[in-house]
Chains A and B, each alone.
Chain A
Amino acid sequence: MSLLQIFEGPLFYIAVTVFMIGATWRILGIIAIGRKTDISPPKASANVGFIAGNLRHFLPRKVFAKRTWVHIVAGYSFHLGLFVLVIFAAPHITFFHDRIWDIRWPALPRWGLIIAAQFAFAGLIMLWVRRFSDPVMRLISDWDDHIGSWLTFLVMLTGCLALQESHDALKATHMLFVDIWLIYFPFSRLMHAMTFFLSRGYTGATYGRKGMNL
């Protein structure tokens, strides 16, 4: 068995299993801690607030944008770029189809992929650069933040280095980092990709109940 076969075969399935179980455990664990039932008479629906809070926090507010535009631009650039890369890259669609589920969806043309990659890289590099040059981020960052950034960077980088799709070794390198990333994910702050829904939602529910303006 070649390394590529291991990395996209057994190791990949192990990684996905760790990822799924770990992430579910974390999410259920947070929910299981529980919240006290609020008996004060509500002004509006907490459930609507949960959803509204989730949606509202996608949109930055104008007053703050003057001070935070770099993060807004870099953050959206990275996350949207990465999302497009993961979901719409032709090799990924084939991989999902072959390895996970027998469905296909339209792929992005190659030039679209390159542009998405450039947005993703520009955003990620910017965010990481700020992490060590902004006094605020320097103070509050820990090793988990840096490892998360670097692992994601390496996954993206090895993926793009393999763009020619002519060497199995490059693909194997990419797959190895994907596997490491998947295993690291549930134990780390990368989990924010899932917990954001709860965090925004709980705040939104509290606010919604009190009839607070979003």
Chain B
Amino acid sequence: MDLRELVAAMFLFALIVMPLESLQAQSVRPPANAVNQGIDKQIDEQIGTSNTLGTNSQSDYWRDLRHGKDGLATSGQSGRKLIQAQGEQWRIVRKTYIVKYGGWVLATAIFLIVLFYLIRGKIRLKAGRSGETISRFSLPHRTAHWFMASIFILLSISGLILLLGRTVLMPVIGKNAHSIVASAAMQGHNLFGPLFIVALIWLTFMFIRGNFFQMADLKWILKGGGLLGPHASAGHYNFGEKGWFWLVVIAGSIMAITGMILEFPWLAESLQLLQISVIVHAIGAIALISAALGHIYIGTLGMEGALDSMTTGDVDVVWAKEHHDLWYEEVTGQKVANPEAEGSQSIPDHNQISAQSQTTET
């Protein structure tokens, strides 16, 4: 047997075996810090179980629990408060709105992409590949992109398990297995989280040039990006790419901040901040993942020649002319006569192109 098949078989074996293992496993232990002994006893002593009402009225009692009472010693974030009432609202918002609609937003995004594929099909190069290429992204650009992409995918998968696992996974794989997967996802998510910040800063610096909005973008918007209708002119980046860049930068920053608060809760001053962070983090995640699905689609399956820019860094001249005509003109100094007309290839000056690729490559 080919070694490749062997490795694949072992990998599959591992995937199949793991859930089975979990079913027999009686060895699931709660994390060491999960059981908090002593606090119940403390409460008993300080409030007094035998006399729950005491001299207070019931409303005074609840007020004290919710807003705190002097002389009540507890540990943790909430100071003297025993019950934080917003917690219930937070729980409801997260469970009924975020988890439910978040899942549907993602499903809709996938549905729209499939629909778009069915209607528009793969966007092909009208003039076919010429074989001649120009440099679009330098190696440092590609490295920064793929570094971010790797971290993003790892965080998306682990994050979605944490957000939707209970609703989607648990009914399928059972509670035991879900608990295992969730534990793994949480450790993984916390581990890769800080790397996202490194990737984000790097990506922002590498790609910010050329991503500011220009007049050409307005025309592009009016033409609907040429996705369904006629071609819309664009520079190095079109409006869609610019929008995606800024979504990553802005939503990514918010994810980074809320993520840090959640990973290092002592950074948060109040419980509300943590609750808000959970909600914002989840909304941001849904937005970014939905957009990323579209980005991945158009970069691979959806458009002929697009992936080249991120693998070899060099795109076909025809691709450049058909999708980024203004950039092509800027780089080569050649006019793209009419991108819609068949066979409108002005032969580019080879020397100019190679000179350009060298300057961008270094």
Contacts and interface: CB of A to CB of B under 8 A. Distances in A.
A70 B143 contact: yes
Which 3 A-B residue pairs are closest in the complex by CB-CB distance?
A: A161-B184, A129-B146, A133-B142
A125 B143 CA distance: 10
A134 B3 CA distance: 26
B313 interface: yes
Contacts of A134: 139, 142-143
A169 interface: yes
21 contacts: A3-B21, A114-B190, A118-B191, A121-B191, A122-B147, A125-B150, A126-B143, A130-B143, A133-B139, A133-B146, A133-B313, A134-B143, A160-B191, A161-B183, A163-B191, A164-B183, A167-B183, A168-B27, A168-B28, A170-B183, A177-B14
A169 B187 contact: no
Q: Chain B interface secondary structure, helix, strand, loop or mixed?
A: helix
Interface in B187-223: 187-188, 190-192, 194-195, 198
B171 interface: no
| Size range of the chain A interface in the assembly | 35 or more
A40 interface: no
A70 B140 contact: yes
A2 B179 CA distance: 19
B14 A176 contact: yes
Contact of A173 (B18, B143, B185, B195): B18
Interface string A136-156: 001000010001000000000
Given A3-B17, A125-B147, A160 B188 contact: yes
Contacts of B184: 161-162, 167, 170
B186 interface: yes
Given A70-B140, A133-B139, A169 B21 contact: yes
A133 B143 contact: yes
Given A130-B143, A167-B180, A169-B22, A161 B310 contact: no
B341 interface: no
B31 interface: yes
B10 interface: yes
Nearest to B14: A176
A96 interface: no
A117 interface: yes
A163 to B, nearest CB: 4
B147 A126 contact: yes
B4 interface: yes
Given A118-B194, A132-B311, A168 B25 contact: yes
A173 B14 contact: yes
Nearest to B7: A147
A167 B147 contact: no
